[in-house]
Amino acid sequence: EVFNKFGDFGCVPNVDTYYFTIEALSRRSMYDWAWSVCEKMLDEGSLPENEKVGKIISWLCKGRKAKDAHSVYLFAKEKNQITPRSSVNFLISSLCREDETVKLALEMLDDFSGEARKYAIKPFSTVIHGLCRMKDVDGAKQLLSKMITEGPPPGNAVFNSVISGYSKAG
């Protein structure tokens, strides 16, 4: 209510206004409203610092709004902001819950490089599992091959997911 009255009082919301409003709404599990405030924040072109962006992404993922959280991630990436790795991993995992968003998670894997890629076994494994679940076993096999050549080194679970995916696909 207070956030919506800012204009009536001649106030202009700033980065903190958006962040604290999104936080309050998320803590009360009002994720649709939190997303509407996020949209306004993105339309204004303002983002809080990296850690807070990570929290916003995580809150939206908890509220089953992974696709919207992905929009925040892309906006931060466009602004050259580095999102905390834990939030990125949570976003990838959340995107892999739904068949329609697994491809978004797959695209995000390209953002891992160097040292970060070497330790990104969980996000890569999650995407492979999602691809197999949606019966894109050839895509899963391609990603597995990419892991073998470029890293991170796949574990047994990744191989088992691909084998199981091919078995289920006949």
Per residue in 29-41, pLDDT (tens digit) is 999 999 999 999 9
Q: How far from chain centre, in Å, is Cα 65?
A: 10
Q: 87 pLDDT band (50/70/90 cuts)?
A: very high
pLDDT at 3: 84
Instruction: Count other Cβ atoms within 10 Å, centred on residue 164.
Output: 14
Residue type, 6: F
DSSP letter (8 states) at residue 80: T
pLDDT at 12: 86
- Mind listing the pLDDT tens digit for each residue in 10-21? 888 899 999 999
pTM for this predicted structure: 0.92
- Mind listing the pLDDT tens digit for each residue in 113-149? 888 899 999 999 999 999 999 999 999 999 999 999 9
Residue type, 31: Y
Give the pLDDT mean for 45-63: 96
Q: Which burial class, exposed, middle or buried, applies to 33 when counting CB atoms under 10 A from its CB (0-12, 13-18, 19+)?
A: middle
Instruction: Report the alpha-carbon distance of residue 164 to residue 150 in Å, rounded.
Output: 23
